Amino acid sequence: MRPDPYKYPGIDLPLRYFPQKYEYPDDPDQSMKFYIGGHPDFDESWSNLLPVREVAMMILVDRLTDKPNWHDKVFNDEIVAKWRNEALNLPEDAVYSIIVQDKQNLMIPQRTRLITEKAFDNCVAELKAKAEFFKNTGLIYTLNGNRVNEYPEPKTFTVGKTLTVIKSDTVVSSDLHHDQASEPDWHPWTNEMVQDLIHPSMYPFVYDRSKFIHREVVRVSNAIEKWSGKGDVPSRDSEESADGAPDVYWSEKYQWLPANLSFQVDSTVKFASYVNNLHPKKYPDIYGVIEKVIDIAIPAWDHALTGQVLVKDLEDDNGFNAETLAAVGREKGPIQLTGRELNDEKDIMNRGISAGEALEEEGDAELLEKATIQLKWEKIRDPIIPEPKDYHKGLQVIVKMESIELTPDKPEFPAGGWHIEGQLNEHIVATALYYLDSENVTHSTLSFRMQTSSEQEELQMRLGPVTSKDPCVQDYGSVETVQGYLLAFPNTFQHRVSSFGLKDPSKPGHRRFIALWLVDPNMRIISTGNVPSQQLDWWFEALVGPNSQTVKGEMPADILQLLVEQGDAAAKLTQSRTRRLPREILDMICRAGLNVEGPMTDDEARQHRISLMEERSNFQKKSEDIIARTGYSFCEH
């Protein structure tokens, strides 16, 4: 256990604490920041504008990686020839429409084909590289986002990072498919089209209502009997932040509760606190299944968030030069090179020779001196090796399970809206979606886009007058949501699901999936480790036994509060053979009284869910309106 508690936004830190504008509270020197999309001011989540042909090539590569055994077939010349013929002859209007779907004012130009012979050759080369990566990891890079927004000094080059969507249909074992698909406890709860098997909007953390314990003491095993009703209602720190995002981007009422996970010796994860809305005693097998999915999601998140670091010399497109290296690596350990020595080092590198070769050259005293300086660093430096970081805090993940049920009376599920996940309170940096089970439904896709800068003077210089009324977004195409697929992507990607319906309209159908939302690993937010289980019926059932009637939250305040405060003692008292109250009497007491502070009744939780969903709907609408109104700004000079 940490010697000191964490600092939590809304408790110890401003509610609108955002590490894009502040240092991380537990690691001020942390340089690997993760970003969140959804607002034009968040320039760290901008994408470059991409050529239409490049996006078309990404879409083609994605579709080819959906083919069975594509990673072997791409090395078969006969099969590749068939793919080539198919790609070069397919109509491209639909692909073009996908790429420019947000550009309503765009005049479609007369154009040549997007996928040409050369473009297809490049796609095959990329597929072969992806195949090797897939064979080693089981993961597929697809829809690579390109973000270039960091300018180290001197500004002769840019450092950018590709953010990407990761998919896989092999890293989830067949046993895991079977475990999830056959788990009877996952049956729908209601007769609605979308059924929340587990949803973080039920029993969230409610500011000025939920109990809170500053140390993360609530575990999976003791969440109910030991801790239900314990803790204090904290005072909220609502100090304003200076990041410029509208207030609606945060909630002053609610926060989804992640579960904490700890890393094990074998590098797997295990829940260190309960999953909100998943009973920790009734469903241990489902806890194990979710842990396995998270084990699979972690490397996918790693690749999706870190991608590839790209360095481009703005003066020389041939790659690195000495200026680049010197700017990136000024810290040389205890022996620091002076400005003159750095210039000498660059001079040697620009000549394309090593320091040792320079020493062997005769008649160049100046070069000899420079080479000596270079060797000074190469041979006698004492590099500072950083101590290993402590990863004791593990990860925080928000869990959702959902089932979309279609019937002959409700045969089609409508398309969703563009959105990022969560409000900024949750600090969600990445998503993983695992598609568990699909039956009698048509295929659907998940589309992706990113924001772009509104200042595109270079584009105007190259293309001439361009409309400035369209939103500043870059569409990246879509990925099919196939049963058994795991998709992972950063929360800089806005995304939306397409519509789908019943294949056979006379029979019902469904699609079920797990959504995992990764909280910024450099942050710590309020979790189920701090908030005892808030379900009153869980606590009451643990107290009186599993066969009692459903708790309505109607118990005399003094009686219920006393029982809640007694915790373990009350449980032991009622479970004693000699002192246990008859269940009928307990049920009658439960029906007769009033609600109190502490655990929530189901009715109260549902009211909070409606309020939370209304608030987040306003947030998504506000976010989309801001993006839609932010057009390209072209200078007139």
Express each pLDDT in 523-550 by its tens digit.
899 999 999 999 988 887 777 666 554 4
Q: Is the pLDDT of residue 576 over 50?
A: no
Give the pLDDT confidence score for residue 26 in this predicted structure. Answer: 54
Q: What are the two backbone dihedrals, phi and then psi, of residue 313, each rounded to the nearest 5 degrees?
A: -75, 120
In whole angstroms, what is the distance from residue 519 CA to residue 260 CA? 10
Q: Where are the domains of the chain?
A: 50-137, 167-307+393-529+605-629, 315-380, 536-592
Q: Give me the amino acid identity at 626.
A: I
Question: Beta strand pairing status for 194-198 and 395-406?
Answer: antiparallel
Segment 193-236, tens digit of pLDDT: 777 778 899 999 999 999 999 999 999 999 988 898 889 998 87
pLDDT for residue 271: 96
DSSP state of 304: H
- Rounded distance between C-alpha atoms, residue 522 and residue 545, angstroms: 41
Q: What is the pLDDT of residues 39-69, one digit of tens each?
A: 555 656 667 777 888 888 888 998 898 898 9
Q: Which of 542, 558, 537 is nearest to 604 (CA)?
A: 537
State the burial class of residue 193 (Cβ atoms within 10 Å of its Cβ: 0-12, 13-18, 19+): middle
pLDDT at 484 over 60: yes
Over residues 497-510, the pLDDT tens digits come to 999 999 999 999 98
Helical pair 339-350 and 365-380, crossing angle rounded to 10 deg: 100
- Which has the higher per-residue pLDDT, 105 or 8? 8
- CB atoms < 10 A from the CB of 186, how many? 20
Is residue 183 over pLDDT 50? no
- Name the pTM for this structure: 0.72
Q: What count of other Cβ atoms lies within 10 Å of the Cβ of residue 356?
A: 12
Beta strands (DSSP E) in 353-444 are 395-406, 412-413, 428-439
Residue 335 has pLDDT above 70, yes or no: no
Of the pLDDT bands very low, low, confident and very high (cuts 50, 70, 90), residue 110 is low
The proportion of the chain whose per-residue pLDDT surpasses 70, expressed as a percent, equals 58
* Complete DSSP assignment for 12-25: TB-TT--TTTS--S
pLDDT value of residue 87 = 92
* Residue 158: per-residue pLDDT: 34
pLDDT for position 404: 86
